[in-house]
Structure 1
Amino acid sequence: MSTAEQEAVPQEAPGRYLPVIDAMIAQPFPAADFEDAAGYGGPACRVRVLRASQDFWDDAYHRALNRADAEMSADLGALAAALTVRWGDPLAVDLGSYLKAGFDGRRAPELIERLSQSACSMQVWTVPDSSRWIGLTVGQHDTELPLELMAVVSRTPLPAPNAGGGG
């Protein structure tokens, strides 16, 4: 990817993903749990994969992974900046602390527990005049599988920034 292409990605990301996020916020939650190629959800949440990279089965030196990680991070940063302009600074949630808490026998809400199995952190904004919050994260379910830029909309209680203290 050329320097010009790298610089173009972050500016394009908000224009491409903000309409999807706006639609997610406006949509009613489904009556039953679902999972499809675009994401998963249920009566209290919806997770949408905004972008997925290639898989990394043949990436012995992690070059493609590193490139994809940089691209996903740029998209995440650009989208987060656009949401910050709308709603102010996000809450940084340490999903890794929820994963560790799960290993220690403490349960997190199902949505947060599932996200913690693929992502380390999430940026979260409360949606004004709504009972919903929106989260953004990049995750990967296993080292050979694609990276995924995910948007989360939920009406469950906001996750605590760090679950290590008993949250």
Structure 2
Amino acid sequence: MPRFQRKGVSKILFATAIADPGYLPTTAELTSATDYSRQIAAVDGFSIENQMIETPDLASTFVSKIGGDDTAADSSITFYEDDTLDDIETDLAKGTTGFIIICRKGKTPGAAGMDVFPVTVSSNSAAITLDNEAAKITVAFAITDRPLLNATVPAGT
């Protein structure tokens, strides 16, 4: 099984609109989405978690579990701050709605592993530090509906 490193392969984009109710973007929607991959320092969350339900019974001291409700993990992206442009601050301002599109195996047409998360920006905050590192901004996202997971990048992208 060939392995790969996400850096240099995976792409993260933001689309303001996707017409399909199942969140599968068209080629045009994917092409018009903003590719933030070069500005990203860290990604957190963007996954589904299950809230397990304990089901103890009188016949055993073992507490079994069943699957419960799904929920989205707290999700954020940390961007490098630009010293002249403020596209992260304006394009991803608090309250902005849209879609985070993660092409885990690249944006090549026909590639598997495309996840689409409907989101609202819940905060956009500069990280102020005196450490010897690049200036960063962290944008937190509320995932507003069940995402489309492991789709295929549409042809013609």
TM score, norm. by length of structure 2: 0.27
- Larger gyration radius, structure 1 or structure 2: 2
